[in-house]
A and B are shown apart, each in its own frame.
Chain A
Amino acid sequence: MLDQQRDYVLRTVEERGVRLVRLWFTDVLGNLKSFAISPAELENALGDGMTFDGSAIDGFSRVQEADVLAMPDANTFEVLPWGDSKAVEARVFCDIHNLDGTPFEGDPRQVLRRNLGAAREQGFTFYVAPDIEFFYFAPPEKGQAPVPLDEGGFFDLTTTDVAGTLRKETIRTLETMGIPVEYSFHEDAPSQHEIDLRHTDALTMADSVMTFRLVVKEVAAKQGVHATFMPKPLEGVQGSGMHMHFSLFKGDENAFYSDDDAYNLSPVAKQFMAGLLHHAAELTAITNQTVNSYKRLVPGFEAPVHISWARNNRSGLIRVPVAKRGNPSATRIEYRSPDPACNPYLAMSVILAAGLRGIAEGYELPTEADANLFEMDDASLTKLGIDTLPQSLSDSLKMMERSTLVQEALGEHIFEWFLRNKRSEWRAYKTHVSQFEFDRYLRTL
């Protein structure tokens, strides 16, 4: 199988006249990294990997040795649908290894592989479908607030034309790259859009999210538009989330489904949810990793604030969507806090680990919170035992730091590096004096 896959890739490179093969991988913060090799080097790379100096990559650097090995995953080889048709380029995702062949601890893709392996040992395959939101803006000017496209003036075309064309072109490109789209629509906020991807296994989906972010930005940039996955770019309107739908399959059976439950949720599903709720605060730093993320997680904008679940309550952290026609394989849960600026490999890793912990320990699912939690006062919430998600990056780092679950899921290397990096981000933010403070204090104090 492996031989044939390699043969397939090499042959395709030859037949399609591929000039450059981009080796893709992801740094700890979820930025797509890449280096290019010539087709002549590809055969070698597929067999033995390509050595490169990882010291310049965030979270890759270690004191002793900086060299690591990128091993292309031949099954992810795709010709890129943009660029010069006379100088075709292709990409392939890589797993990063140490020079001795062991998985490199700083590679998020390897971290997800390891967590998926733990699920597989229990017979589970982890399926994920994200709903990704983002904004289109005029190209940003330094120090200026973003300008939404919908507010006109920027284009000759009517605004619906621009955004509509961009979205259509984005979807077409995604589909040619084997990323099927389920729905897409204009969101509530000006210039905000949502594209929902069809479920697939978690590793492929994490790769797809990386590709997705690039495709959205590339397609927009071609029209002189800036697409952003910043969680809360505009004050006073909805931010961008990346709700994720999850299910666990055992062979061909959806392990989340039961016909013996009012919501068709199996004990496995309930324990998974319980695990996720129990550990939600600890893993929020990973699913919401920027200072800005926490400006989205506030009441009034359809983003979750409270650690709760419900069948159909968009103020909750976990929602249980109604499966179409009671279809067992569509039974799933929706986790609503992640934002599209997260590292999808790490986010899926910690979420899966929390869910599996719930199953392993047989956690009890708290009662459903179907009231509008935003309208309840703290006392009533406390009475219901409903806690809130961390309110800032600093809070969530404190929760994460104490979490052995997150530490085990990420591995020591990434855990330590992430905390160090994000604490310094928080320190930089804390010392910043903002417009808010000038407006509020300068004259009165």
Chain B
Amino acid sequence: MNELLAVYPDSPPVDLARTLDLAGYRWKSVSTATEALRHEPTSGWAGAVVACDVDAEAAWAFCSALRRRDNPVQPLMVLITGGQLADLELRHDLFDDFCITPCHPVEIETRLRHLFARGGGDVRPEVVQYSSLVLNLETYQATIAGTPLDLTYMEYELLKFLAQNPGKVFTRETLLSRVWGYEYYGGARTVDVHIRRLRAKLGEEHANFIETVRSVGYRFGQSRWSA
């Protein structure tokens, strides 16, 4: 393939660089999302490989920047250590596949090949559904029992995140960092304010979709697997 892969961080692990070279991928390493934007080929990045094992937070922020834009970069593969497996949870939208380091070069190569083979196949609109609530991720529209909910952008993002993870309890801090991003200034109180607004819009009947878990945070609905 001739297209260019974005690789993070700027001086990627030697093993990774060698594997990509030997497998015949063209790639360019970048140190920030801004740099990724600057060096992006006109046809867009063909995909990205992100090593999370050095500075995990920065790496996830990088993934987030690449995925949350008009034309999200995909496929995106992350390299993590065994100890970081828990980080994958709640970030399913940020990557397409992962490898646990250290790993055999053949594994990276095989996974990448599969990702590219799969790419572009699936164009179904993504829908998140919980009880009578439906979110169409493609059109950004939310409905409850068929009636459209008029949400502001942040309310929509918050509801989407919660509805994608029913039954899970989130702290305000988690919600703030995952929905608003790390750089948001307002503090966890912002979360309370938005939750209250979402409940108001969901209406009396459905306000209890979002439950306050005392001195912890919030939970949306029931897990599909809970008793």
Interface residue ranges, A against B (CB under 8 Å):
1, 3-5, 7-9, 11-12, 15-16, 74-79, 81, 120, 125, 127, 174-181, 198-201, 204, 249, 251-252, 329
Please give me the residue from chain B that is nearest to A200 by CB atom: B193
Query: Would you give the 0/1 interface string for B65-102, flagging 1 where the beta carbon is closer than 8 Å to chain A?
Result: 00011100000000000000000000000000000000
Residues in chain B near residue A200, CB distance under 8 A: 193
Among A75, A79, A179, A201, the residue within 8 A (CB) of B153 is: A75
Give the distance in Å from the alpha carbon of A204 to the alpha carbon of B197 in the complex.
Answer: 12
Give the distance in Å from the alpha carbon of A178 to the alpha carbon of B188 in the complex.
Answer: 19
Among A75, A81, A199, the residue within 8 A (CB) of B154 is: A75
Give me 12 other A-B pairs in contact (C-beta within 8 A), A15-B140, A78-B152, A198-B196 excluded.
A4-B153, A74-B153, A75-B154, A78-B150, A81-B150, A175-B200, A178-B152, A201-B186, A249-B189, A252-B187, A252-B188, A329-B189
- B188 and A7: CB pair below 8 A? no
Residues in chain B near residue A181, CB distance under 8 A: 200
Tally of contacts, chain A with chain B, CB under 8 A: 83
Give the distance in Å from the alpha carbon of A180 to the alpha carbon of B70 in the complex.
Answer: 32
- B201 and A176: CB pair below 8 A? yes
- A201 and B193: CB pair below 8 A? yes
Residues in chain B near residue A15, CB distance under 8 A: 139-141
Given that A16-B141, A178-B197, A180-B200 are known contacts, is A76 also in contact with B189, CB under 8 Å in the complex? no
Give the distance in Å from the alpha carbon of A175 to the alpha carbon of B201 in the complex.
Answer: 6
Give the distance in Å from the alpha carbon of A1 to the alpha carbon of B186 in the complex.
Answer: 16
Query: Would you give the 0/1 interface string for B196-223, flagging 1 where the beta carbon is closer than 8 Å to chain A?
Result: 1101110100000000000000000000
Residues in chain A near residue B119, CB distance under 8 A: none
- B196 and A77: CB pair below 8 A? no
Most buried by A among B70, B153, B154, B201: B153
- A9 and B153: CB pair below 8 A? yes
In whole Å, how far is A325's beta carbon from the nearest beta carbon of chain B? 12
Given that A201-B193, A252-B189, A329-B189 are known contacts, is A176 also in contact with B140, CB under 8 Å in the complex? no
Give the distance in Å from the alpha carbon of A198 to the alpha carbon of B193 in the complex.
Answer: 8
Please give me the residue from chain B that is nearest to A181 by CB atom: B200
Give the distance in Å from the alpha carbon of A9 to the alpha carbon of B140 in the complex.
Answer: 9
13 pairs of residues in contact across A and B, judged by CB atoms under 8 Å: A3-B69, A4-B68, A4-B69, A4-B70, A12-B141, A15-B140, A16-B150, A76-B152, A81-B150, A178-B155, A180-B196, A180-B200, A252-B172
Give the distance in Å from the alpha carbon of A8 to the alpha carbon of B69 in the complex.
Answer: 11
B181 within 8 A of A: yes
Among A3, A11, A78, the residue within 8 A (CB) of B140 is: A11
B185 within 8 A of A: yes
Among A81, A125, A175, A179, the residue within 8 A (CB) of B189 is: A125
Residues in chain A near residue B45, CB distance under 8 A: none
- A176 and B150: CB pair below 8 A? yes
In whole Å, how far is B115's beta carbon from the nearest beta carbon of chain A? 24
In whole Å, how far is A78's beta carbon from the nearest beta carbon of chain B? 6
Given that A3-B70, A12-B140, A12-B141 are known contacts, is A178 also in contact with B201, CB under 8 Å in the complex? yes
Among A175, A204, A249, the residue within 8 A (CB) of B187 is: A249
Residues in chain B near residue A16, CB distance under 8 A: 141, 148, 150
Give the distance in Å from the alpha carbon of A132 to the alpha carbon of B196 in the complex.
Answer: 19
Given that A180-B199, A249-B187 are known contacts, is A11 also in contact with B153, CB under 8 Å in the complex? no
Give the distance in Å from the alpha carbon of A33 to the alpha carbon of B60 in the complex.
Answer: 43
In whole Å, how far is A436's beta carbon from the nearest beta carbon of chain B? 45
Among B148, B187, B200, the residue within 8 A (CB) of A251 is: B187
B8 within 8 A of A: no
Give the distance in Å from the alpha carbon of A5 to the alpha carbon of B156 in the complex.
Answer: 10
- A179 and B200: CB pair below 8 A? yes
Given that A15-B141, A201-B193 are known contacts, is A77 also in contact with B153, CB under 8 Å in the complex? yes
Give the distance in Å from the alpha carbon of A180 to the alpha carbon of B201 in the complex.
Answer: 9
Most buried by A among B155, B197, B200: B200
The 6 closest A-B pairs by CB, nearest first: A175-B200, A79-B150, A178-B197, A8-B153, A180-B200, A5-B153
Please give me the residue from chain B that is nearest to A1 by CB atom: B181
Residues in chain A near residue B156, CB distance under 8 A: 8
Residues in chain B near residue A198, CB distance under 8 A: 193, 196
Residues in chain A near residue B148, CB distance under 8 A: 16, 79
Give the distance in Å from the alpha carbon of A433 to the alpha carbon of B201 in the complex.
Answer: 50
Residues in chain B near residue A176, CB distance under 8 A: 150, 200-201, 203
Given that A77-B152, A252-B188 are known contacts, is A178 also in contact with B200, CB under 8 Å in the complex? yes
Residues in chain B near residue A199, CB distance under 8 A: 193
- B200 and A125: CB pair below 8 A? no
Give the distance in Å from the alpha carbon of A443 to the alpha carbon of B204 in the complex.
Answer: 61
Given that A78-B152, A249-B187 are known contacts, is A8 also in contact with B140, CB under 8 Å in the complex? yes
Residues in chain A near residue B172, CB distance under 8 A: 252
In whole Å, how far is A215's beta carbon from the nearest beta carbon of chain B? 13
Residues in chain A near residue B153, CB distance under 8 A: 4-5, 8-9, 74-75, 77
